[in-house]
Chain A
Amino acid sequence: MSQRTDSPEFAPGFIWQIILLTVAVLCFAVYSRSQEDSTPRMGVKSPISIFPWMMGGKQTIENGLRAFSGKPPEPPPIDDRVRALGPLLISMVLCPTVFFLEWRRRRLAKASLLQRTPWSMSTAFYALCGLVTVLVALVVGPVAYFGENARENQRHAQAVQTNRDFTIDELNLLAMDAAQYNILPRQLGGGGRSFVGYSVPETKAKTEEASYTVTEIRNVVVFRAASSKFPLCAVQVKVDSLGHMRDWVYEGEFR
């Protein structure tokens, strides 16, 4: 069967070549979809993508899950490496190289896509490489920015949470200290069933995590912890004579 087309719009054999390429792309699409749908290894999915940090993220999560199960981290399997490296080489090396070389050749030959030259496989390949190059150039910046922004937010949230946890730990110690003061008789330096005269010990008043003050003393003592790392964050808690803590109030990002 002749592959020649008698149309001035297409080069000979172009239609069969582009059909074959289309079938290959469709196979890739079905494979990519089946990868996305298949049962993931250790609960992590990773669709085929030109962005290697997706694979990196998947590996990090897998290592985290392994560490949680008490297993040592293992290097990524070879198919994951191929899936990360393959699209990366195609989209960031092959496509831009082909596109810019062909673009230069066309510039030198004073030709352009808009001229009515017949469609050939090289034209289609050039257009495809150009499209991928432009899309990658447009996308990489925003994706990197949003990704870094999300990571920064996550790091900040984790730092706030850690500070909050340490502050609560220190407040627990202060609650015990206040209860001890309440129980001890006056002769031994205590309050004799009262919080009157109680103050935060100097060594515990200011730590790396927060500054602690007593704001109210009646039948309960109210502690206020102002974070040293995040100035707008604070915790307030009431401690009764038995050392029970209640009525927690969180301010700022501690909420």
Chain B
Amino acid sequence: MNDTRTLRLTKIDWRWLVVTYCFLVLFHLLPSLLELTLWQLLLSPGIWRFALWTGGGIALVSAYVGYRSIGVTILEPGIASMLYMATLIPTVSHIRYISASGYRLVGLLVALLLIAFLVGCFGAAAGEWLQARREKERLHTENS
């Protein structure tokens, strides 16, 4: 059982990768665009607002994907989160207002992509944990 789960980790399901990316755009980017006023009201602009907003959204969506998908789906949300971050940076982030250039800017971009990947993986892992727990509870209920 464990071996199968480990093997699935390295085998990427492209459908969940695409769907996770689409979910991130639909369930995070679109509501955020519509709720722009609230973000401007609650948080001052800057890298922290961007990080909090993006990190929170990625973690939640990845956790849902991890919970909902059959089998172990951890890498897919991680990669999709990285792609999503790569989409967000040129379209909606305020990264161009940050006073970094050259190597520092490249470093910042790479760091953001890595953080997105890690947050996506952690979110998905949390979802998987929840899924396993629910499954255990269900089996326990069925047996008793």
Q: Judge whether B25 and A22 touch: CB under 8 Å.
A: yes
Is residue B139 within 8 Å, beta carbon to beta carbon, of the partner chain?
A: no
Please tell me which stretch of A43-51, A152-160, A194-202 contacts chain B, meaning at least 4 of its Cβ atoms lie within 8 angstroms of it: A43-51
Chain A residues lying within 8 Å of B18, measured Cβ to Cβ, are 15, 18-19
B33 in complex: contacting residue of A18, A29, A131, A136, CB < 8 Å: A29
- Tell me the smallest distance from the CB of A23 to a CB of chain B, in Å: 9
In terms of DSSP, what is the predominant structure of the interface of chain B? helix
B-contacting residues, A1-53, CB 8 Å: 5, 7-10, 15, 18-19, 21-22, 25-26, 28-30, 32-33, 47-51
Question: For this complex, into which size category does the number of interface residues on chain A fall?
Answer: 35 or more
Please tell me which stretch of A58-66, A98-106, A138-146 contacts chain B, meaning at least 4 of its Cβ atoms lie within 8 angstroms of it: A138-146
A to B contact number (C-beta, < 8 Å): 82
- A25-B92 contact given A10-B15, A19-B22, CB 8 Å threshold: no
Chain B residues lying within 8 Å of A8, measured Cβ to Cβ, are 70
Chain B: interface residue total (CB-CB under 8 A): 25
A-contacting residues, B71-95, CB 8 Å: 87, 91-92
Q: Judge whether A7 and B15 touch: CB under 8 Å.
A: yes
Chain A contact residues, CB within 8 Å of chain B: 5, 7-10, 15, 18-19, 21-22, 25-26, 28-30, 32-33, 47-51, 54, 87, 91, 116, 119, 124, 127-128, 131-132, 135-136, 139, 142-143, 146
10 contacts between A and B (CB under 8 A): A8-B70, A9-B16, A18-B18, A21-B26, A26-B29, A116-B70, A119-B19, A128-B26, A132-B30, A143-B37
